[in-house]
Amino acid sequence: MKARVMVFVLAVLLGGPVVADSLLIQNGRIHTQGPAGVIERGSILIENGRIRAVGATIPVPAGAQVIDATNRIVTPGFFDPLSVVGLIESVEDEANDASGAASADEIADAVNFNSPSVAIDRRQGVTRAVVTPRLGKSLIGGVSALVRLTGAPDMVFERHASLNLLLGEAGATGAGGSRAGTLARLQAASADASIKDAVARKVPIVVAVDREADIRLLIPFAREHGWNLIVAGGAEAWRAASVLAQAKVPVIVRPTENLPNRWELMGATLANAARLNAAGVRIAFAQAEGDIAPPLSQLAGVAVAHGLPWEQGLAAVTSNPARMWGVADRLGSLQVGYVADVVVWDGDPLETTSAPVTVIIEGIVTSLTSRQTELRDRYLK
């Protein structure tokens, strides 16, 4: 038993993935994000990439690899619902594949599984992401893909995850500079083949919109046309919280947004997430700008610091995005039968001073080495 554990530890330290018949995480404070709630000094048994048992006491199966999570917090892997992972290596155009998507373009074709950003996000506890093109000036801006952050060629596991639209000031600029024709443009766009396909597939239609008036205009239109609507940005969404809750429209919030650098952000507040949650609106957080943005853990921490309950802050980066994208039956929480995406943290995962010590994707312990750690280690010698 000791020899097998030593082989497991050496493999992790050397930076390679660890594959085992079974893996047992012991003695951690497990935030399941499921019916079991929080389990003190709990265990998770993983077999063949799935969670086979979760509880206070689980016997060690013969031949299992063991991770001791004493004094550690264990959570589901983080889920970024608006990511550019695998798309942007640099702000330079020749290394930026996030822009310029047309209505039916599938961003999956541009995802680079060898991108350094994959390891960077994984080191921050992210195991799943919705890779999303940056919207340009057109109303409809491409099709997002769902990915697992393994860095393997099969990283994309759903090519047609959601469709992206742009309203508000930016959308008006691309349509002649006036908001007056918003409904007419939406009506015309609803006949677009990409929107019809999204409605038929029942995949989310993610609309970037901030102003309260625009949000209130969008909700009944989306309901009438059968859209599975998600609001992205929503700086003034808290002002329409009751309408959003009644329509069961979730919001991907930018929790650090507070300064109105555009007219449509005049109602921006750091309390946005807390107010939406209190009204019964499902919320999530996203990096959106890649490694120049704060990590998901910090975004959730900011929202918690401004009134969002801690467990809801964790939900906003785990189970809530999984629900928004219709994969909550297998991702986003730690339950029996679910895919084993698990993170063990060295402290409170919503604190900036904490970091993962173990990241597991589909039952495999992944490397926490990134380009940054390699450069650090090289120049510390």
Rounded to whole angstroms, what are the CA distances from 235 to 8, 9, 178, 227, 275?
46, 45, 20, 21, 12
Rounded to whole angstroms, what are the CA distances from 269 to 121, 210, 242?
27, 12, 17
Give the DSSP letter string of 99-150: S---TT-BGGGG--TT-HHHHHHHHTTEEEEEE-PPP-SSSEEEEEEEEETT
Q: What is the pLDDT of residue 236?
A: 97
The pLDDT > 70 percentage for the chain reads 86
Q: Are 5 and 65 in contact (CB under 8 A)?
A: yes
Q: Which helix (H) or strand (E) holds 286?
A: none
d(CA 252, CA 237): 10
> Which has the minimum average pLDDT: 90-94, 225-229, 285-289?
90-94
Average pLDDT over residues 148-158: 96
d(CA 123, CA 78): 11
Q: What is the pLDDT of residue 331?
A: 98
Q: Which helix (H) or strand (E) holds 194?
A: helix 193-201
Count of beta carbons in the 10 Å neighbourhood of residue 81: 31
- Quick: pLDDT tens for 239-248: 999 999 999 9
Average pLDDT over residues 120-137: 89
Residue 76's SS3 state is: strand
Average pLDDT over residues 214-226: 95
CA 335 remoteness from chain centre: 19
- Quick: pLDDT tens for 168-213: 766 555 555 566 777 788 888 888 899 999 999 999 999 999 999 9
CA contacts within 13 A on the Cβ side of 217? 18
Q: Which long-range contacts (CB under 8 A, 24 or more apart) does 33-39 make?
A: 33/75, 33/76, 33/314, 33/315, 33/318, 33/319, 33/332, 33/333, 33/334, 34/319, 34/333, 34/334, 34/335, 35/335, 36/334, 36/335, 38/311
Domains and CATH numbers, the chain: 2-76+335-375 (2.30.40.10), 78-324 (3.20.20.140)
